[in-house]
Amino acid sequence: QKEVEQNSGPLSVPEGAIASLNCTYSDRGSQSFFWYRQYSGKSPELIMSIYSNGDKEDGRFTAQLNKASQYVSLLIRDSQPSDSATYLCAVRDASGTYKYIFGTGTRLKVLA
């Protein structure tokens, strides 16, 4: 059973701080990784995708990938109360079926 693991949280950070969200995956052959944000009662919305080892920055968001450690993370700089949501990590199956496997999500609370 291929798995994507996330700490369910909640992760509480003060406004303006850096929030660090982590994800590990079991399928060593995975090549594509995604972070989604999901507000309560809403559907997931894509924040970032990352495919290569290292960092990828987009505004206040930075995704980090380490395939050797099977680890992907999302950093949110200058966290705002509006960032309070559940963050889902998704990994595309490497076996050739192209399905996306999601973690259970980490709930982030940014305290004003």
DSSP for residue 59: T
- Binding string to another protein for residues 49 to 88, with x set by CB under 8 A, is what? x--------------------------------------x
**Would you count residue 98 as binding another protein (CB under 8 A)?**
yes
Burial of 68 (0-12, 13-18, 19+ CB in 10 A): exposed
Q: Which two tokens stand for residue 8?
A: 């369910």
Helix (H) or strand (E) segment spanning residue 12: strand 11-14
Q: In terms of CB distance, is 17 or 49 closer to another protein?
A: 49
Q: Which residue in the set 90, 91, 108, 110 belongs to the binding site for another protein (CB under 8 A)?
A: 90
**Would you count residue 1 as binding another protein (CB under 8 A)?**
no
| Cβ neighbour number for residue 96 with a 10 Å cutoff | 7
Measured distance CA(28)–CA(9) in Å, rounded? 25
**Would you count residue 3 as binding another protein (CB under 8 A)?**
no
Residue count, binding to another protein (CB under 8 A): 23
List of residues contacting another protein (CB under 8 A):
4, 6, 8, 32, 34, 42-46, 49, 88, 90, 92, 97-105
